[in-house]
Amino acid sequence: MRTFLRLEFLYQQLLYNCDVDSDWATRAIISSLLEIMAILTRGDVRSEVHKELDLNIDNLKRFQSQPGVDGGRLGNLIANLAAAREDIDAIGTQFMQPLKDSEFLSAIKHRSSIPGGTCEFDLPEYSHWLRQPFERRQKDIDVWIAVIRPICDAVTELLWLIRESAQPVEKTAINGMYQHRMQKDRSCRLLRVTLPENTTLYPEISGSQHLFTIRFLDWSTIDKRAVQTGHDVEFKLSIC
């Protein structure tokens, strides 16, 4: 789940900057792309995504015979997951090879480990490419994104499904702390904590598969360390 959340975070950054006609936005795209590449080449993420898709498809199919289920909506959801699985099957295990073989991206990756290493005098070719028309840069970017899109789109779909799998429940953190002991027969892959808007509090979560603790810290400024609030906190908790 941590890997999936990191991929979603980077993919959202990448897509956000794709529509911005600025060389700084393009730099941000390349930075996000390189980080996504690092995650996808570090472990067998493709296999984990495939396994998660199979699990969710099988779980959803069990609801098809249940009374009161919206068959049309359920069918569309299963079809979306099945299409994502087919896309991942189609790209194969060596799907990252085109990005690995790109000397252009490799040079940027190599210099990115140095503070300021991608500036104009370090990577003149990169700077020249950044000065190309937006449409020209976008054409190259679309080719690179097409390589990672099946995995990233599948992860986005899976995380949406996991988040929507549980209803939020009203809880109270006594003196800013809440503890929850998990039932032995219940699995949990993701915790969601919802607080009112404009609150000065934020949650800090720790725990294991048996017990988790949520502490609500009171934030004031960046110059002052946040401390646990001494007040009771009303919040919503989803155990997904």
More confident residue, 172 or 220: 172
Model confidence over 41-76: pLDDT tens digits? 887 899 999 999 999 898 888 887 777 777 788 888
Q: Which domains does the chain have, with CATH numbers?
A: 2-163 (1.10.3900.10), 169-239 (2.60.440.10)
Model confidence over 140-188: pLDDT tens digits? 999 999 999 999 999 999 999 999 888 999 999 999 999 999 887 677 8
pTM confidence score: 0.88
Helices 71-91 and 45-61, packing angle to 10 deg: 160
pLDDT score at 205: 94
Model confidence over 8-21: pLDDT tens digits? 999 999 999 998 98
Whether residue 129 is predicted with pLDDT greater than 90 in this model: the reply is yes
pLDDT score at 185: 64
What average pLDDT does this structure show over 4-32? 95
Model confidence over 100-120: pLDDT tens digits? 999 999 999 999 888 988 888
Model confidence over 116-126: pLDDT tens digits? 888 888 899 99
